[in-house]
Structure 1
Amino acid sequence: VTGKIIFEKSDAVFADEGTYLTKLDAIPEIDSAFLFSASGGKHAPIIAKELKKRKKKIILITNNQDAMAKKFADKTLVFPKNPEPYTYNTSTYMGMILGHTKENPKIILDHLKKLKIPNFKPYDSFYIIVPEEFENVRELFLTKFDELFGSKVTGRCFTPEQTKHAKTVVPDDKELFIGIGYKNTAFGNHRVNFTLPKDAKAASIMAVGYYIIGHIQKQKPAYFKNNIVTYCKTASKLFSQTINPIVE
């Protein structure tokens, strides 16, 4: 997703761990690849090894100086990060995006401090509406709901134009519609809207969205906290790598 945001105005081919082989087979003209991976582990070395095998130039974008995929890369760019719980990836990918958008982190932080957070407890599902120009950010929010809540809390995210296409056929009195950078006056029975900083770009809406989702998490039972240690043990076996609950 970070790659889509950074290269959204480029004629680039986008792929993930499930589609990269199909893309490489279908488009042999691909001569190089930017590989975005905060840890530089898990699927990253597998993908990098395959790219190397096919003689593609590899630029690794990571937050880990000792990334496993680094040995396959022709060039590695290491971005700073803060210690975070596993899967959070807030400072990691946001740092990469800030490097692209050149937004001022202080302006973003000052804006977050001014937001008024409502009571989220009455709601079991949340529908986030983002402006059309931030369509690529949707997946970040959807992934965050999956990681933090699993099936306990439902999260949906669409643009206004996408929302017009039968997304609200079945109403739910326990669903809250959240407009971020978009004043929603038409969709959902329960609505709340949040502004963005002036001249906001991708990092701003990512920060505001994660901040809101974080407050939803704060007001709900500790689903993530109570399960992340067990999950990391399972994930470590799946990837044959050590995955810790806190990523330093």
Structure 2
Amino acid sequence: MTRLTDHDTSFGPLTFGRSSWRPWCLVFSTGGGCEGHPHNSLTAYAFGWVARLNLPTRMKPWRRWVDTSHYNWKGSSGGYWDEYPREYGFSLSDGFLQVFLGAQTHDSVTTQSWCTHLPWTQWRHIRHSLFDEKGDHFWTEWSRPSGFKLRDNWTVRYAVKKECPAVVFEFDDYDGKRIKATTRIEEREWHFGEGWFKWLSLFRSRKIRRSLDIEFSEEVGPEKGSWKGGTTGTGIDLLPGELHEDAFRRYCDQEHRAKYRKYTIQYIGRVEQSA
């Protein structure tokens, strides 16, 4: 039987606990399949709590026969049952609504569910701006409606980004290898509400995020050269009044995390660009 939390409490057919995930959710499930839960059950999330009530089995999981008789490895049975739980109910989390209408196969063809982002809970992107080495405005791309001919023109955006004045720094990777980092200041703006609910932005402050985009001249971190690869680029949010150097120094002073370990890098200095 699958756990709900790290600290489940059970009383007969009822299991409950405090949940770090805080949706509004009510779902009936047949159990079975890869879920590994053998009973029909009713699960609810609310107010930071989750509870599951095991029920008598009145509905069977969804399943289909997969024919393998035409393969060399068909086996003695010539196939197998592909089984998944049926679920009915809803889940609402951070403005994302899911409605479960039957089999949950994790396959877009056979899964029976519907979902949407509620437009009165969403932020819509307004612009993406670039700033030069002094923090002065260089270029802005305004978001355009879906279907607009030049919407999200990646080629233009990439070309402009390369033309935007950047500041280059050197640093030593965790293994002492000296690497260059090319940095640019970016800023993005969002307004509240989408579609018919754009008017909600009249009553809520806009959201603006300014960050330092960082591109490395080669892979960084303990996993460079491996199948996973090291870090080739990243970013850091800017503090009020910060420019490239202060932000990159702060980035270097942080402890960084790779897949299997933590590591540090050392700031060296700014690389002066030839005119």
Which of the five TM-score ranges fits, normalised by the shorter chain?
under 0.3
Structure scoring higher RCO (CA < 8 A, sep ≥ 6) equals 1
Query: More helix by proportion, 1 or 2?
Result: 1
TM-score normalised per structure 1: 0.23
TM-score normalised per structure 2: 0.21
Larger-Rg structure: 2
